Amino acid sequence: MAELLDMDRLCVRDTRHIILSELTMHVGRGEKVALVGESGCGKTMSIRTLLHMLPDDVSVTSGSLTFDGTDVLSLRSHQLRQELYSRVGFVAQNTSASLHPLLRISTQMTDFYLERHRGVRRSQAVEKAAGILRSLGMRDVERVLSSRPDQLSGGMRQRINIAIALMDDILLLVADEPTSALDAHVRRQIEEVYISLAERSCLAMLLVSHDLGFVRRMADRVYVMYAGKMVEEGLVDEIFSAPVHPYTRSLIALANVKYKNKDEDLAQLGGFVPVVGRESRSCAFASRCRYERADCMADVEYRRLSDTHYVRCWR
């Protein structure tokens, strides 16, 4: 069966540097997929590419991108709302900035929806918004709908952003670090909202997260990104129980998520992600990798370990 989302060998660059290199990623219908990697690896750019939201000086130079049969790269701006944004919901990284400070929540939840669904009355849209908020575990929904953002807690605002993304009957929910700016207590609550949504809906999800414990509970499959390239992908058990790439292994060791090869002495991950596109060695991880050898200078292919598990490393 065709994938819901299919990114194939995408190259993205600005006027001077390559930002994403031969990026291949797919999400099946109903599948929950996580994208992990340190800051600056290209996760947000990957999502902005999918959502047709690249900065002005950044463009796709090669590769293909289809969503539910639509060639996303060829969409014109007037087609995006109908062809893409009615089927892909998005929760941005800085969600407090994405709510208008002066407008009531009911207006913010229904305005775009009513623009896309001309025959629907506002009262029907508000009823739909209330139902979605209730389904995300929110009480006192009438008060919330008549409030402005500053009258609500961070956790409530976060739920509202998820609810806005769910107003259309979307096929894919994309969330960029949806819990990273929250304090620990609220973060746990919001993680539970995502986990419960993942368990009870056939919605596909693409989640960027630093929190590997959350990823392990949420995801069916995981992509690991480093310096603008995928370095490993696999089913969640393959990534957490048998990670292969030294970068994946270090991330998991740092996150203290236990995995099978406990006897191995994993180095702490020192150094920094090289500026994307400016690492001259073939393996961008070489400067931080304690297994580096002469082979690592040559082109490192993305190798298949099983039908679902791929890695970009010579070892």
CB 261 to ligand SF4: min, Å = 16
Which residue lies nearer to ligand ADP by CB, 105 or 273? 273
Least separation in angstroms between residue 198's CB and ligand ADP is 22
The nearest distance, CB 286 to ligand SF4, in angstroms, is: 4
The closest alpha carbon to 292, from 246, 227, 232, belongs to 246
The window from 16-24, 39-47, 194-202, 301-309 that contacts Mg ion (CB under 5 A) reads: 39-47
Strands in 18-164 per DSSP E: 18-27, 32-36, 59-67, 70-71, 88-91
| Pair 270, 287: CB distance under 8 Å | no
The minimum distance between CB 42 and ligand SF4, in angstroms, equals: 17
Separation of alpha carbons 18 and 26, rounded Å: 21
Strands 303-304 and 310-311: antiparallel
Interaction partner, residue 292 (Mg ion, ligand SF4, ligand ADP, none; CB < 5-8 Å by kind): ligand SF4
Least gap, CB of 206 to ligand SF4 (angstroms) = 25
Strand order in the sheet with 310-311: 88-91, 172-176, 204-208, 32-36, 221-226, 229-235, 310-311, 303-304
Closest to ligand SF4 by CB, 14 vs 292, is: 292
Q: Please identify, among the stretches 13-21, 23-31, 37-45, 160-168, the one whose residues bind Mg ion according to the rule CB under 5 A.
A: 37-45
**Cβ contacts of residue 259 below 8 Å, gap of 6+?**
240, 241, 242, 243, 252
Task: Give the one entry of Mg ion, ligand ADP, ligand SF4, none that residue 214 binds, where binding means its C-beta sits below a cut-off of 5 to 8 angstroms depending on kind.
Answer: none
Containing 172, the helix (H) or strand (E) segment is strand 172-176
Q: Which residues bind ligand ADP (CB under 6 A)?
A: 14, 19, 37, 39-45, 55, 57-58, 275-276
180 lies in the binding site for Mg ion (CB under 5 A): no
Residue 259 or 314: the one with the smaller Cβ distance to ligand SF4 is: 314
What is the identity of the amino acid at 221?
A: R
Residues near ligand SF4, by CB under 6 A = 246, 283, 285-286, 289, 291-292, 296, 300, 313-315
Which residue, 77, 62, 79, 154, is CA-closest to 116? 79
Using CA atoms, how far apart are residues 251 and 43, in angstroms rounded to an integer?
15
CB of 283 to ligand ADP, least distance (A): 17
- Residues 313 and 244: their CA atoms lie apart, in Å, by 8
Residue from 24, 44, 107, 147 in contact with Mg ion (CB under 5 A): 44
> Which one, 260 or 293, has the nearer CB to ligand SF4?
293
The minimum distance between CB 267 and ligand SF4, in angstroms, equals 11
The option from Mg ion, ligand ADP, ligand SF4, none interacting with 14 (CB < 5 to 8 A, set by class) reads ligand ADP
